[in-house]
């Protein structure tokens, strides 16, 4: 199926305003549950002001139309309409003034509007990070005792070079070499192959995108400070392949019979991590540049929660084949991303740092992103906005952490999982 190439639009659509007005209590509670900072009361006040101004403009314009017709009739009959024309000039000036006020209020409304988060699904618990619900576990975690952290393992084997990376780019930009660099590369091939087996279409996407793309998936305006921007070209370095992949079908209507669409992409990811300054500064736990394989689905609305379970299992399958212990947790509302309605995090066990580490977030955005990006479907007597989902399948840095720390052998080498050995020429051990 060829990809559409719609022109960029100046004003991407946002959430359905009628829905917000009719469900004010639900929306207000959603903002509170997600712990977002948008002034939702100010939004409703400015929106009411905007609608009142629009109504006044419409009434005055209708009056102007009627009076213009009447003036034309009197002029045709030979009557003096000088006073009427002067009155109409005053009315036109008033309409122009009101239209300017409408534009100013609309700009304020839109700024608030774009900061209203998606509404959490009813199954999502209240609370923050500490209130996540563990759904299931797989595998037996290796005891943390006597397992050094991954940066010590990699440094001892000559694969980890933080000083050289610092000279190049500063902190947070990893430099890997030798067998660890190769391991990262073959992991990408392994994961892409696995997802292709599960019906995903591989795509290679741009790594810089425009404002519309970032608005469409919900990174803008909220996450602007966490992303890298190329000012000269008005482009953003992608924080995840989710952004370009989801926007492939921006401003298009898809035939319903083509759904679901399932894409997988590899990309570098760039994040300032402005909100996480000072956290996890050692090793690969939190970096500004990393690689990731991303899965994206576009589905019919009635299928999206079944698709979320399927997508989560597909991410889990990577960890099962790599023989890495992990757990699945359902995030609480206050820890959900801005755009997500429901999210499962996959956390892999890392004994060297004695922690569960997130390696994937599998999210259902319902129609939140599709409304912003204008992605619709039609066919079979149904139409509307698609539901979008995505999940890391998986992110590389913490996956490497888990492989190093779980695979460390008594003689200081690293065991290669059986599923990866064909990608490494049959190697069973690295180092």
As annotated, the active-site residues are 271, 286, 358, 361, 398
Handedness of CA 88, 91, 93, 95 (dihedral sign): negative
Contacts of 328 (CB under 8 A, 6+ apart): 134, 135, 136, 137, 312, 316, 344, 345, 346, 347
Residue with tokens 């952490």: 401
402 near 183, Cβ under 8 Å?
A: no
> 99: burial class by Cβ within 10 Å (0-12, 13-18, 19+)?
middle
**What is the C-alpha to C-alpha distance for residues 259 and 243, in angstroms, rounded to an integer?**
19
Tokens of 224: 């602007």
CA neighbours closer than 13 Å in the CB half-sphere of residue 406: 24
209 near 247, Cβ under 8 Å?
A: yes
Q: What is the DSSP annotation of 59-116? A: HHHHHHHHHHHHHHHHHHTT---HHHHHHHHHHHHHHHHHHHHHHHHHHHHHHHHTTP
242 near 296, Cβ under 8 Å?
A: yes
How far, in whole angstroms, is CA 203 from its chain's centroid? 18
Tokens of 183: 């391991």
Using only C-alpha atoms, the chain has a radius of gyration, in whole angstroms, of 27
Handedness of CA 217, 222, 227, 231 (dihedral sign): positive
Q: What is the DSSP annotation of 147-194? A: ---HHHHHHHTT-B-HHHHHHHH-TT---B-HHHHHHHHHHHHHHHHH
388 near 308, Cβ under 8 Å?
A: no
DSSP-based helix, strand, coil % in the chain, nearest 5: 45, 20, 35
Do strands 414-415 and 387-395 pair parallel, antiparallel, or not at all (unpaired)? unpaired
Q: How big is the chain, counted in residues?
A: 431
Angle at 429 between CA 347 and CA 405, to 5 degrees: 30
């Amino acid at each position: 199926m060829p990809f559409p190439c719609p022109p960029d639009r100046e004003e991407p659509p946002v959430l359905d305003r009628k829905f917000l007005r009719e469900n004010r209590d639900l929306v207000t509670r959603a903002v509170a549950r997600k712990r977002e900072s948008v002034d939702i009361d100010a939004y409703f006040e400015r929106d009411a002001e905007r609608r009142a101004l629009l109504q006044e403009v419409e009434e005055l314009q209708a009056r102007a139309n009627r009076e213009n017709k009447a003036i034309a009739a009197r002029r045709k009959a030979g009557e003096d309409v000088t006073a009427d024309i002067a009155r109409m000039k005053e009315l036109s000036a008033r309409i122009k003034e009101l239209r300017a006020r409408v534009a100013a209020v609309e700009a304020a409304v839109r700024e608030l509007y774009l900061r209203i988060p998606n509404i959490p699904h009813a199954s999502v618990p209240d609370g923050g990070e500490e209130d996540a619900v563990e759904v299931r576990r797989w595998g037996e975690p290796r005891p943390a005792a006597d397992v050094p952290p991954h940066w010590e393992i990699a440094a001892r084997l000559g694969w980890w070079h933080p000083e050289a990376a610092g000279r190049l780019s500063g902190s947070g930009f990893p430099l890997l070499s030798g067998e660890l660099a190769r391991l990262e590369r073959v992991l990408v091939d392994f994961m892409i192959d696995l997802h292709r087996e599960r019906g995903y279409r591989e795509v290679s996407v741009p790594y810089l995108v425009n404002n519309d793309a970032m608005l469409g998936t919900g990174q803008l305006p909220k996450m602007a400070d966490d992303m890298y921007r190329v000012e000269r070209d008005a482009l953003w370095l992608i924080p995840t392949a989710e952004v370009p992949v989801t926007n492939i079908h921006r401003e298009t209507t898809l035939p319903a019979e083509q759904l679901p669409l399932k894409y997988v992409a590899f990309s570098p990811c760039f994040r300032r991590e402005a909100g996480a300054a000072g956290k996890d500064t050692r090793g690969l736990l939190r970096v500004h540049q990393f690689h990731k394989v991303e899965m994206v689905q576009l589905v019919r609305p009635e299928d999206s929660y079944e698709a979320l379970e399927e997508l989560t299992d597909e991410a889990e399958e990577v960890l099962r084949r790599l023989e890495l212990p992990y757990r699945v947790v359902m995030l609480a509302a206050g820890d959900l991303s801005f755009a997500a309605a429901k999210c499962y995090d996959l956390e892999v066990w890392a004994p060297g740092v004695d922690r569960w580490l997130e390696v994937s977030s599998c999210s259902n955005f319902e129609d939140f992103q599709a409304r912003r990006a204008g992605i619709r479907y039609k066919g079979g007597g149904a139409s509307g906005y698609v539901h979008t989902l995505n999940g890391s399948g998986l992110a590389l840095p913490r996956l490497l952490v888990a492989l190093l720390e779980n695979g460390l052998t008594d003689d200081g080498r690293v065991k290669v999982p059986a599923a990866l050995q064909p990608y490494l020429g049959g190697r069973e051990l690295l180092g």
